[in-house]
Every structure is written in structure tokens, then in C-alpha cells.
Amino acid sequence: MKYAVGIDVGGTNTRVALINEQYEIKERVQFGSDPKDPMKTLNQINGVIKEFGQEIEGIGISCPGPLDLINGVILTPPNLPGWHNFELTKELEKITGVSVQLENDANLAGLAEAVIGAGKGKKIIYGEPWAADKTAVEGNKKLAAKENIGLLDENIGAFCDSTRDGIKGSALRAKEAGFINGAEEKEDEMLASVAAWGANPYQAEGFENVKAPSQIVTYVSAHDNHTLWDKLKETVVEENECLRLNKMAAAVYMTCQGTLFFLSGEEFARTKGGRDNTFKAPISLNRLDWEKAWENKELVHYYQGLIALRKQLSGLCDKSKDSYKRITDMWKEKDVVGFTVINDEASRWSQVKIIYNARKNSYKVKFLDDGWEILSDANDSWFWEKGICANRQIEAAPQSVLILGRK
């Protein structure tokens, strides 16, 4: 068993805890902080750690701000007047001989609630910790980045750009298409996306070593770059085709495992006039145009149906580490992929069969036996309310997602 030490330094008290790999507190000691003499407090901390009698892998310490996190320095905390500009991590590492990481106390409190506290599996805290170039991280420390996702707790993850770009094309190259809008050889990425990159049967390039779908935010558009509608307009000429592909994009990512996310207004074809970088643009461009919500109420209704349907598909909502096993019978043809989702016994449908058809012509579903009903198609995401049986000759419409269910 490996152990770490967690420390909270406050203006009144300091708390030191011994923690195991399951985030269980095995021992905890509290004593008064010395607001004028930081070294006195650090020596007390070292004494407590020695009394724990365990080999320590590392130390995490929280303090009130402001802090210089890169250099591990406490700057000017109002309740610790003698600690101003104190090199905390350097001094504590010198005393204990163990690597020390410093973070703001409020940030760590929020992280703890999200990972092991009341917010686990219920609430999401998300940021944008991407590194555009070199960082100030020193030594052999690794960034909490995409390539290191397998080193993170299963409740800490990332926005999945591999799914995003696989569906509708690169967010950085406007004219580059994805699976739904004409790019070739994207089938493997789609099937990896379905299982939130926990299963990757055809070895598509993208996320690796994902522990569970809880680590994957599945999406196609966010505040950065083009909106989904503007991206489609860059790669498709006809307005009607853009509308069809907007529905398809939504149906694809809403039938993938992971935590769903979409940009406000995506459901009514939000546009920023074709611009991909509007952080300095006026509110008239960045605002939510509610008139478009009315104009595109059919698209809004389609999103509503997909959301309501997904909530009933336990095999897609499961975020456990073994949830990829619920995705079975994966197959692919040129511009078409399909798979089956296994739901809980108590679910309305025990199995769901899903087909992504990116072709501009219909695709006849193969090897379909009796007992299936239509849950959603190219135009109606509320079919599941009607109990309409699917015949063996059913086809997936051009550029659409067909969802079938069996009780």
C-alpha cells in the first residue's frame, strides 16, 4: 500500500493527514499554526509525518492565497503575516526529503468534492488546462494532459477533441471535414468514440489509456472555434444539408458514452457569422439569438428528443470502468458504422441497435430479426414514444443516425 500526506495550512490551525491509495484518511493530526514563524509550523509538520511511521510517496499542501504555484511560494496571505514570500515547497522538501506540491485551498476543496466527495458522479467542475507551448513544469513531472489521461483519477478527464474532430472535422482547419460531412476513413474513430475511447477495436489514433467514460467529455462544439453550424457551412454548400448534418452530429455524440456537453445555442444552429475567434467581438455577434430558436424549433425539438431518449439508455449513461463491455457487435463499412448497446434489465429496451450512415444515399439495415422498434431516425427523435415496429427492410436515411430498440 502506498501513502501520501495531505496538509492544510490555515491562519489558525494546520491539519496533517496520512492518506492511502483509496483516498482514505488513516490518521489525522491538528495543531495551531504559527502565523509569524513558518519554519516552526513546518518542523511540527515533519514531526507528525515521522510519527505516522510510513514511507511517503509525496506531499500535497493547501494554503490560502495569493500563491505563486509555479515556484511554490506563499505571497501575501492576510492571516499569515510572517509567511509573506515564503518558499514553502522548497523548505518543506528540504526538511522531509519528499516531493511537495502546493495549491490554493479553495481549488483543492472543489477538486476533492468532485473526485471523492458529495459531487462524485453528480457535479462537474471543468477548466481549460491546455498547454499551448512550453510550460514552467520542472523535472520529470507530467502534465495533466490528454497524453497522460491514464495517470489521472477516473473522475478527472478531458474534453475529447478526437471525438469532436472525428465527427465534423478539425476545429483548427475550417475546410477539413469529418465523418458526417464527407471525410474518408473516419469509421474507426467513430467506433472508438462510441465507447469513449475505452475500447478501440480498430486502433484509431486519439485518446489512449482511458480508464472509464467518466474521463471523457463527448462534444462537437464549445465556446472556442467555429460553432457547429458555422463549421458545417465551411464544408457543405446546401443549407438543407447543413440542417440534416446538424441533426446527425447531435445524434452521433448523444449515442456515445462519456459525459455530454454542447454549446448553448447549438440546438438552434447558433452562428457567429462564420468567425472562429470572437472573444473580442461585440455582444451582437456572441449573444444567443432567441429568434433563431423559434426559426429552428424543429431542430430544437430533435435535440430534446435525443436527450430524453439517452436518459433511458443505461448502457450509454454508464461511466464505470467496464462500461465499454456494454457496446457490442461493432461493425463498419465505407461511411457507415453500427453497434449494439446492452442496457440494464430494468431498462425499457434491453438492447439498442444504432447505425451511423454518412452516405448521401440510404443504407439498408442487414441481418435484422423481429422484435425491434424505431426509437429515432433522421427526422424524428421522438419515435420511441410511438411504439412503431421496424420491418426487416428498414433503411437508414442519407446522412443520418437510425436508432432501434428491443425489449
3-115 shares its CATH topology with 158-317? no
pLDDT tens sequence across 354-377 = 999 999 999 999 988 889 999 999
End-to-end CA, the chain: 45
Kindly state the average pLDDT of the residues 214-218: 93
Per-residue model confidence as pLDDT tens digits over 54-76: 999 999 999 988 999 889 999 99
* Fold for the domain defined by 325-406: Immunoglobulin-like (2.60.40)
Options 3.40.50.150, 1.10.150.20, 3.30.420.40, 3.10.105.10; CATH for 3-115 is 3.30.420.40
pLDDT above 70 (res 129):
no
For the chain, give every domain's residue range.
3-115, 158-317, 325-406
**Class at the top of the CATH hierarchy for domain 158-317:** alpha beta
- 3-state SS assignment for residue 106: helix
CA angle in degrees (0–180, nearest 5) for 328-333-334: 140
Let me know: does 114 contact 157? Beta carbons within 8 Å.
no
What is the C-alpha separation between 299 and 241, in angstroms, rounded? 13
Question: Which residue spans within 40-107 are E strands per DSSP?
Answer: 56-63, 67-68, 73-74, 86-87, 100-104
Query: What percent of the chain is predicted at pLDDT more than 90?
Result: 78
How far apart, in whole angstroms, are the C-alpha atoms of residue 245 and residue 393? 24
Closest CA to 38 of 76, 75, 91: 91
Yes or no: say if 308 and 254 are a contact pair by the CB < 8 Å rule: no
pLDDT at 142 over 90: no
Element (H, E) at 231: helix 228-235
